[in-house]
């Protein structure tokens, strides 16, 4: 009888050791849902660069009634006909008559990148398109800060 008890105890110990080993070696249980993938997009912190924001504030304060300013407007929203070329480019600022939403002028801030050949060609193309469409395009050199004097040519053209 002691032999039988001893065999039962040995068997029980073997089962317990087997279960413990299986628990240690087996992979952890999988969660019910797969982990979410990393986002493909993230929100930019600011819409305008510091230079663009400075210019926007000065232009906004100097615009006569009834005009307002919009930033980063696609060329395809300003010029017709629509094309792949115009859908992939934007104007830094567009000035509209607030009462009618008529587009009256556009403004481009030209930083040092506009001196590069590719950007220069893009600028020439945008200049030509705006000229053909009868849209006054004002090119302003980009800098850290602006004053009312910097926007005088724009405001004068709106008053005439």
pLDDT for residue 31:
62
CA distance 41 to 38: 9
The reported pLDDT for the residue numbered 84 is 83
Q: What's the pLDDT at 8? A: 59
DSSP strand pairing (103-110 vs 137-141):
parallel
The C-alpha atoms of residue 58 and residue 157 are separated, in whole angstroms, by 16
pLDDT of residue 19: 64
Q: For the beta carbon of residue 98, count every other beta carbon within 10 angstroms.
A: 13
- Residue 32: helix, strand or coil by DSSP? coil
Task: Tell me the chain's radius of gyration from C-alpha atoms.
Answer: 34
Query: Cα 42 to chain center, whole Å?
Result: 8
Mean pLDDT by 10 residues, the chain (160 residues): 65 64 62 77 93 95 94 94 84 97 96 72 92 96 92 90
- What pTM was computed for the model? 0.72
| CB-side neighbour CA atoms (13 Å) of 152 | 4
């Amino acid at each position: 009888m002691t032999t039988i008890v001893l065999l039962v105890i040995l068997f029980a110990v073997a089962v317990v050791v087997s279960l413990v080993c299986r628990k240690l070696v087996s992979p952890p249980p999988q969660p019910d849902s797969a982990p979410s993938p990393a986002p493909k997009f993230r929100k930019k912190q600011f819409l305008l660069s510091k230079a663009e924001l400075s210019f926007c504030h000065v232009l906004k304060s100097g615009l006569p009634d009834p005009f307002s300013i919009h930033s980063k407007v696609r060329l395809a929203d300003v010029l017709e006909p629509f094309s792949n070329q115009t859908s992939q480019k934007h104007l830094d600022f567009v000035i509209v008559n607030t009462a009618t939403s008529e587009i009256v002028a556009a403004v481009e801030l030209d930083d040092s990148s506009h001196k590069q050949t590719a950007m220069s060609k893009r600028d020439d193309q945008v200049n030509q398109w705006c000229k053909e469409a009868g849209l006054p395009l004002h090119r302003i050199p980009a800098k850290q800060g602006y004053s009312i004097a910097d926007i005088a040519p724009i405001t004068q053209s709106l008053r005439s």
